[in-house]
Amino acid sequence: MDVDTHGEHLVYLYCVTAQPPNLDEARDQFGELYCVCEAGLCAVVSQVQAGEFGQPGLRRNLDDLGWVAAETTRHERIVEMVCRDRCVIPFRFATLFTADESVQTLLRADCEEFTALLHQLDSKAEWGVKAYCDPETLRDCVCTRDGAISELDETIRLASSGKAFLLRKKRDELAKAALAGRTDQYAERIVEVLHGVSVETRIRRVLPRGPTQGHGAMILNSAFLVGEDNTRRFLDTVTTLNEGYAEDGVVVECSGPWPPYNFCDLAKKVIDG
Amino acid sequence: MDSAVATEKDVTLLELLDRVLDKGVIVSGDIVISVADVDLIYVGLRVLLGSIETMERLRGSAV
């Protein structure tokens, strides 16, 4: 790992395809990209400055959100352009090698897995599905429909202030329990329905409230691998889910098509450099 | 045309980072930051993008 990076170039790997893609458009926007081919596979790479992407430069740059935003966008745009006419295996941001030969070594070492994966992913795309709920709308909706809570509300209305205070605590607990179960049910139902119109499903961790503010609380973060001939049906199903849940304060957001970042699990993830 | 589908403009940086930093094939090339480093960076970015409250909470647990 201790490589002298002074004044050198590194090889940045974006994605792997079966056939060399047309890189003209990507080159116009992002500079000199080229292909490293080996074992019936083709890696799309570019040379990057060691000072920028080698350690400790990379570590420093990763603290700079502006740099990260620009470079991850560049990574994604390049993969997307290749993705338009080729099935791709996208790599994680900043997968770096010292030379083209090292990329060839990787392709040779993992050629069977890469080839099988490309076959699985052919004519399919990833769609991201996130569901959010507005807690207040959902709480009102759940409480109105819950017999026990409605009954308790009526008792509280007629109770003395001391008793009402205690009963309200009980009501809060009931409402909390009903809500916790409910958001899980929405998430499970959404996954179940969309699983029926897709090839594979990945459940991701729910992201924290901060970055997604404005949408309510995230209750589901998922990805679906959808056959190209089934895209319309998948999107129509998302629309139908939204229509059904509007009253409950639940919104299903769909983004895509994405390169299949979530569907590239290799059995062997690490090779020896 | 389809209100359920986020347009390119709506795709937030977080959505991008959620994939590009966190997913995709992970191999160790000759010289890469370790997977653990990327995870820390990811947490760090969520801190930057998040609210003050989230920032305080993650800062407390990540450092």
pLDDT digit string (tens) for A145-156?
888 898 999 999
Give me the total of CB pairs closer than 8 Å, taking one residue from chain A and one from chain B: 156
A27-53 pLDDT, tens digit per residue, is 999 999 999 999 999 999 999 998 998
pLDDT at B48 (0 to 100): 52
Q: Where are the beta strands (DSSP E) in chain A?
A: 9-17, 33-38, 41-49, 89-90, 96-97, 124-133, 200-204, 217-227, 250-258
| Rounded distance between C-alpha atoms, residue B24 and residue B43, angstroms | 18
Pairwise CB contact (< 8 Å): A3 & B16: no
Residue A136: predicted pLDDT: 86
Question: What are the pLDDT digits (tens) for A207-261?
Answer: 765 544 566 788 999 999 999 999 999 999 999 999 999 889 999 999 899 999 9
Q: Give B40→chain A minimum CA distance, Å.
A: 10
pLDDT over 80 at A160, yes or no:
yes
Instruction: Kindly report the number of other CB atoms within 10 A of residue A81's CB atom.
Output: 24
CA distance B36 to chain A (A): 12
What is the pLDDT at residue B45?
57
The 10s digit of each residue's pLDDT in A67-108 is: 888 999 999 999 999 999 899 999 988 888 888 998 999 999
Please report residues of B whose CB lies closer than 8 A to that of A73.
Answer: 16
Chain B contact set for A99 (CB, 8 A) = 30
C-alpha A211: how far from chain center: 15
Whole-prediction pTM value? Answer: 0.80
The token pair that represents A223 in the structure block: 């990805």
pLDDT at A270 over 60: no
**Which amino acid is it at A202?**
R
Confidence of residue B30 (pLDDT cuts 50, 70, 90): low
Kindly tell me if the per-residue pLDDT of A55 is higher than 70: yes
| Per-residue pLDDT band at B3 (split at 50, 70, 90) | very low
Residue B10 has pLDDT above 70, yes or no: no
What does the pLDDT look like over A123-140, one tens digit per residue?
999 999 999 988 888 888
From A138, A217, A220, select the one nearest A176 (Cα to Cα): A138
Closest Cα in chain B to A113:
B25
B10 CB within 8 Å of a chain A CB: yes
User: CB contact, 8 Å: A258 with chain B?
Assistant: yes
For A60, residues 6+ apart whose C-beta sits below 8 A from its C-beta are none
Tell me which residue in A1, A204, A208 faces B54 most closely, judged by beta carbons: A208
Q: What pLDDT is recorded for position A90? A: 96
Lowest mean pLDDT among A221-230, B12-21, B37-46: B37-46
CA-angle at B22, arms to B21 and B28, nearest 5° = 80
Higher pLDDT, A210 or A56: A56
Closest residue in chain A to residue B48, using alpha carbons only: A65
Q: How far is residue A101's CA from residue A112's CA, in Å, rounded to a whole number?
A: 18
Is any Cβ of chain B less than 8 angstroms from the Cβ of A13?
Answer: yes
State whether B31 and A264 contact (CB < 8 Å): no
Q: Is the peptide bond before A20 cis (omega within 30 degrees of 0)?
A: no
Q: Whats the size of chain A, residue-wise?
A: 273
Q: At residue A119, does pLDDT exceed 60?
A: yes
**What integer pLDDT is reported at residue A195 of this predicted model?**
96
- The Cα–Cα gap between A18 and A45 comes to 14
Q: Is the ipTM of this complex over 0.85?
A: no
Helix (H, G, I), strand (E, B) or coil at A260: coil
